[in-house]
Amino acid sequence: MIAIDSTIQEESLTFIGAQRNRHIGVFVGSGGEELFITLQEITNKSTFVSAATKTGFVGGAGQKAWSCRIVDEIAKMASK
């Protein structure tokens, strides 16, 4: 979650809930997106990872969907 500047709000063995830190921009602020990551063991050697991003109404213009980036970062860490 550090890679995308987020703070973990809730964490368990199968779930991570976080929120991106807010930033102030010239025209539009960014951050504040809620991130939900679910981990499900498929076999002893593989895990299914799903991620979802929820953007809000306030600051929505500066918010992004981070789901793919989260999964990419998890895959990088798992391959090391």
Number of Cβ within 10 Å of residue 56's Cβ equals 11
pTM equals 0.67
What pLDDT, in 10s, does the model give residues 7-24? 899 999 999 999 888 766
- Residue percentage of the chain with pLDDT more than 90: 18
Which region, left, alpha or beta, applies to residue 42 given φ > 0 means left and ψ of -120 to 50 means alpha? alpha
Q: Which residue has the tokens 């981070």?
A: 66
Query: What's the confidence (pLDDT) of residue 26?
Result: 54
CA angle, 16 then 21 then 26, to 5°: 150
Closest CA to 60 of 36, 34, 35, 30: 30
